[in-house]
Chain A
């Protein structure tokens, strides 16, 4: 039975999406696009987490790259320095960012407004400095190296098609998990917080608890992305976990639409496409350098915030819905007319 106003996970969408991922490497055989798609998957995990935090808990994090970095460095140190198996270090790489988010969230969740944004901004800078300066552990600015590859049933997961499937396997898990959260009691509570914190707390929703939980979840997603990133590369450096990266994640969510799990995913893919297009144009016209990417991101953000404040995905979805209903209403009118 379907309750009115209760949204349910549309499994059809997930299925179609999973199929698209499955066939992508057979249609696009170039390694360059496959690497791009693998990175897109890693970023999508972070963006989905951030999307939950922004769209459902109404909080902004400017330090997602810090959790991403902690996840990556945790597993790097555990596997390369201490000789653990990457599969054993996976839970730890999720736990550390989650724990840090818990400590921050514990104090922050009682506050409303932009305190979390400010605190996470500071966190991002602190973590980056730590990665650069704590040379004994992180090997400093030149980067950590010698990170072992992943092994599954005696099969080494190399960069390319195997790693692409691994990353997107995790993306689908994160996607299903997030869709279920959104469409559960917790999700409804979170949406109520986003719309009006005062109203929801007076209705008996423990707002600070839910806000904190979702913040921890988003940090753990970022940690997972960090784990995937570290074992894909032989070497990682603090340069990948800067404030710029946090802003890029934010741009992905805002572009796609923060009020929707799918939005964050689509936003990530679109931002990556912009990067590819700039790269292609750069090969043709030497004056187009990577700086153009930032100009275009800025322009997109501006246009989206002004014209599509809900983001691209919800707007497009509504637009399609409207189109479909218009057509079907026309049909029913015709039918009605025919009957007469």
Chain B
């Protein structure tokens, strides 16, 4: 038995590996036959998209992935861009920097894509940024961190569509000023999202005359945060600002109400989903957050310049998939639509697409906001693209000014 096992194992491994290799060779040949965007006759526009369909970032990556597929099908059923079909190669980075690096290298060098879209997380986007800059390929990220596009001198080839955490913090501070609240206690998730939120809250505090009287943190899966909340309450904070993604903020809301602390709770755009309300149950009532408008398409007024873009995308998405697109879907949508805009206007090589994105995207209406890219701003949004939302009767409602 033992004698047989080893050769068997080896044979299995070799067979699997060879099978995998031959498969990829076939694919490569098929790609050659199809003809990529080379010189002469252009038979298709190849675009690479790396989103985190699996792993911890999958709640972000899934809607982005779906939105991208949706647009590809829509464009091709309408006859492509100026008669040339669109080919989007979707890749899953599994929420890992290493995988993102491998996929980015594959898409750029093996598939020879014109543009890279993604990734969903900030760490993965930064990893891809390095390669995009080295290989001079335009990329449009769907992640939050400001550092992806700043400083702009070091981000020549990199753009991004989601509001930066800076915008979200600005929007929260504007709201606090309106409410006359000046002392806040912060409690953040110790992950990338939470820590960059805190970084911005600290950086912008003086400008908005906000004093952070207590800084607490928790780990994403912690089941109880009573100790941190008691501290914040003891520090005479007038509001609790919680910066994290589910399930942390739901635990914070529950614990706060269980402790009988009567402070307003302000969350981040990271909990702009129904899941938060499901998790926090009754404690969710009254929680306020900054969010993109795609959270409640039916509540956006018809006068809004984004109305058409949001409602048509929302309808198309919910018709095809059984889930909500969420704000993340809107990032995926805007990313691919920006590229299509460039291709439609005759920017069909890497350099031209970059030039088009930087110079010709002004007052461009997307589902996330109205974009104005320039050589000084590769995010192109302001805090106004976010609105405030509040939980009322178990639903996110637009908070009127």
- A: residues with CB less than 8 A from B are 30-32, 34-36, 39, 132-133, 135, 140-143, 145-147, 149, 158-160, 233-237, 239-240, 270, 273-274, 276-277, 280-282, 284, 289-291, 303, 307-308, 312, 315-316, 319
Contact = CB atoms under 8 A, between A and B. Distances in A.
Nearest to A142: B192
Interface residues of B, number: 50
Contact of A141 (B97, B127, B147, B195): B195
B106 A143 contact: no
A288 to B, nearest CB: 11
Interface string B1-27: 010011001100100110110011000
Contacts, number: 130
B134 A149 contact: yes
Contact of A316 (B6, B109, B147): B6
B122 interface: yes
B54 interface: yes
Nearest to A158: B134
Given A142-B123, A307-B5, A308-B6, A237 B23 contact: no
Contacts of A141: 123, 190-192, 194-195
B196 A140 contact: yes
Central interface residue in B5, B102, B199, by most chain A CB within 10 Å = B102
Contacts of A160: 105, 109
Contact of A135 (B17, B147, B199): B199
Interface in B184-208: 190-196, 199
Given A32-B110, A142-B195, A239 B154 contact: no
B127 A234 contact: yes
B296 to A, nearest CB: 29
Interface in B211-254: none
Given A159-B105, A277-B20, A280-B24, A236 B134 contact: no
A289 B23 contact: no
5 contacts: A141-B190, A141-B191, A142-B123, A234-B129, A282-B92
B55 interface: yes
Contact of B130 (A140, A234, A270, A303): A234
B384 to A, nearest CB: 25
B382 to A, nearest CB: 23
Given A239-B123, A277-B20, A308-B6, A31 B190 contact: no
Nearest to B1: A307
B106 A30 contact: yes
A38 B192 CA distance: 27
B137 to A, nearest CB: 12
Contact of B105 (A34, A143, A312): A34
Interface of B: 2, 5-6, 9-10, 13, 16-17, 19-20, 23-24, 28, 54-55, 92, 94, 96-99, 101-103, 105-106, 108-110, 122-123, 126-127, 129-131, 133-135, 145, 147, 154, 190-196, 199
A36 B99 CA distance: 9
Contacts of B196: 140, 142
Contacts of B199: 135, 140
A203 to B, nearest CB: 34
A314 B51 CA distance: 41
Nearest to B15: A277
Nearest to A229: B98
Given A143-B97, A160-B109, A315-B6, A235 B134 contact: no
B101 A233 contact: yes
A292 to B, nearest CB: 11
Given A35-B105, A143-B192, A277 B131 contact: no
Given A32-B102, A32-B106, A34-B105, A234 B54 contact: no
